[in-house]
Amino acid sequence: MGRIYMDHSATTPVDADIAQAMVKFMTEDFGNPSSIHSFGRDVKKAVEEAREKVAKAIGADAREIIFTSGGTESDNAAIIGVATANCKKGSHIITSTIEHHAVLDTCHHLEKNGFKVTYLPVDEYGMVKAEDVAKAITDDTILITIMHANNEVGTIQPIAEIGRLAKEKGIYFHVDAVQTIGKIPVNVDELGVDLLSVSSHKIYGPKGVGCLYIRKGTRWTPITFGGAQERKRRAGTENTASIVGLGMAMEKAVANLEQEVTKLTKLRDKLINGITANIDHIQLNGHPTFRLPNNVNFSFHFIEGESLLLSLDMKGIAASSGSACTSGSLDPSHVLLAMGISHEVAHGSLRLTLGKMNTEEEVNYVLEVLPEIVERLRQMSPLYDQNYQPKKECCQHV
Ligand SMILES: *Cc1c(COP(=O)(O)O)cnc(C)c1O
């Protein structure tokens, strides 16, 4: 068996047809879309076609889309852009404790600059409650920013419900939809969002490009200066080849949605059921049903996620642990902690995120090697021994 990649929430490979189409926009069609001559015009046309595709995929108008350098920039631009433009109206922002750091750190930055931020708690499944959002709203609230689905545990948030609330109160609503494009339907009107972030490299497009949807009429100000590109909303020469790639990736993600979901859900459930049936002392992290079709996240008690990752890697299986996506950081995931999971249990977490190339054979292989690895690591773990004692005593009483 060759190497197995089950870390698609970290990044995905670029589809071959997308990579091929992009090459043309680095070599032949290399013009600057701002140029008046034919070299520029041809590329501008391709950029505008990509914008149409992206807009269509989320039910928006092309004029409401700006291209960015990715999910992180889109989140920054959405939050800082709305905060700056509406600071005379109010200075309060509502978000949640389980957001991506692109949102959390942007909120921290704004707090240092005089804004007030409410970080809403989540339940044990990693779900934000719409009623908590309602309670947090004050006359000073200008923005609500909640992610569509969480990248670590896959929990899908009640976005449409929060969208109705925001609309009722006249508060802008930003949604990080980086993890949901191509996995669940994303429509800006149905969800009631005013701003929405997308990244290309999570949906089989190139890295370093994404887009931000900004609903027409939204009071928003740019965060980059120095050029009139993107109708003065995002300065800097466009990443033309990557924009073409993103356009294709969005179009394909939506066209193949149903078929993908069916396939991913089947593999996901096979993994979840297989792990549950064959390994003791574990817990599934995230919501059992309101869950991304490609996300599996378990905590294995008495062992370290890092050791688990290394052992899996030696078997050629690429996954991710609960220490965020940043290897090197030993802090347990802020998402798992926010769900009320202890440091110890959070450290023993493993995330497997499936993609379109994964097969049932690969899932079977993971199910074959994982119980052995977990058992071996537990045998070496002092925690396992200690924790097993009370259990044995308990049995002796019976
Ligand atoms: C990956 C990710 C981002 C960051 O996107 P980049 O394009 O890598 O900057 C933001 N939010 C979520 C939920 C993500 O999963």
Q: Supply the CATH number for residue 281's domain.
A: 3.90.1150.10
Nearest to 262 by CA among 344, 356, 146, 174: 356
Ligand 1 center to 178 CA (angstroms) = 6
Residues 87, 107, 325, 394: which is the catalytic one? Answer: 325
Residue at token pair 């059921």:
273
Considering the domain architecture, whether residues 217 and 288 belong to the same structural domain is answered as no
Residue 391 included in any domain: no
- pLDDT of 384 reads 83
Considering the domain architecture, whether residues 231 and 280 belong to the same structural domain is answered as no
Torsion, Cα 243 245 248 252, to 10 degrees, reads -130
Residue 171 included in any domain: yes
User: 324: domain range?
Assistant: 4-10+256-382
Residue 182 included in any domain: yes
For the CA of 99, the closest atom of ligand 1 is: 13
If DSSP codes are grouped into helix, strand and coil, which group holds residue 114? Answer: coil
Residue 353 included in any domain: yes
- pLDDT of 291 reads 98
Domain end position, chosen among 215, 230, 255: 255
Ligand 1 center to 246 CA (angstroms) = 14
If DSSP codes are grouped into helix, strand and coil, which group holds residue 354? Answer: coil
Residues 261, 234: contact at Cβ < 8 Å? Answer: no
For the CA of 207, the closest atom of ligand 1 is: 7
Q: What is the pLDDT along the chain (398 residues), one digit of tens a residue?
A: 799 999 999 999 999 999 999 999 999 999 999 999 999 999 999 999 999 999 999 999 999 999 999 999 999 999 999 999 999 999 999 999 999 999 999 999 999 999 999 999 999 999 999 999 999 999 999 999 999 999 999 999 999 999 999 999 999 999 999 999 999 999 999 999 999 999 999 999 999 999 999 999 999 999 999 999 999 999 999 999 999 999 999 999 999 999 999 999 999 999 999 999 999 999 999 999 999 999 999 999 999 999 999 999 999 999 999 764 445 567 899 999 999 999 999 999 999 999 999 999 999 999 999 999 999 999 998 878 766 644 444 444 43
- pLDDT of 393 reads 43
Residue 112 included in any domain: yes
Q: Which residue owns the Cα nearest ligand 1 atom 3?
A: 71
| Integer Cα distance of 294 and 268 in angstroms | 6
Considering the domain architecture, whether residues 239 and 345 belong to the same structural domain is answered as no
| Integer Cα distance of 116 and 28 in angstroms | 50
Ligand 1 center to 199 CA (angstroms) = 6
Q: Which residue owns the Cα nearest ligand 1 atom 6?
A: 71
Considering the domain architecture, whether residues 285 and 182 belong to the same structural domain is answered as no
Ligand 1 center to 57 CA (angstroms) = 19
Considering the domain architecture, whether residues 216 and 304 belong to the same structural domain is answered as no
Q: Which residues line ligand 1 (CB under 6 A)?
A: 70-72, 75, 100, 102, 147, 151, 176, 178-179, 199, 201-202, 210
394 catalytic residue (yes or no): no
pTM assigned to the model: 0.95
* Overall number of domains in the chain: 2
Considering the domain architecture, whether residues 183 and 158 belong to the same structural domain is answered as yes
- If one residue of 11, 176, 199, 211 were mutated to test the ligand 1 pocket, choosing by the most ligand atoms within 8 A of its CB, it would be 199
- pLDDT of 203 reads 98
Considering the domain architecture, whether residues 243 and 288 belong to the same structural domain is answered as no
Domain end position, chosen among 214, 238, 255: 255
For the CA of 200, the closest atom of ligand 1 is: 7
Residue 397 included in any domain: no
- If one residue of 72, 159, 325 were mutated to test the ligand 1 pocket, choosing by the most ligand atoms within 8 A of its CB, it would be 72
Considering the domain architecture, whether residues 242 and 266 belong to the same structural domain is answered as no
| Integer Cα distance of 335 and 177 in angstroms | 17
Domain end position, chosen among 235, 255, 275: 255
Q: Which residue owns the Cα nearest ligand 1 atom 15?
A: 151
Q: Which residue owns the Cα nearest ligand 1 atom 10?
A: 71
For the CA of 149, the closest atom of ligand 1 is: 13
| Integer Cα distance of 62 and 54 in angstroms | 8
First to last CA, the chain: 46
- pLDDT of 1 reads 79
Considering the domain architecture, whether residues 51 and 121 belong to the same structural domain is answered as yes
Considering the domain architecture, whether residues 303 and 371 belong to the same structural domain is answered as yes
Considering the domain architecture, whether residues 282 and 154 belong to the same structural domain is answered as no
Considering the domain architecture, whether residues 203 and 271 belong to the same structural domain is answered as no
Residue 398 included in any domain: no
- pLDDT of 392 reads 43
Residue 394 included in any domain: no
Q: Which amino acid is at 385?
A: D
Q: Which residue owns the Cα nearest ligand 1 atom 5?
A: 71
Ligand 1 center to 390 CA (angstroms) = 43
Domain of 27: which CATH number?
3.40.640.10
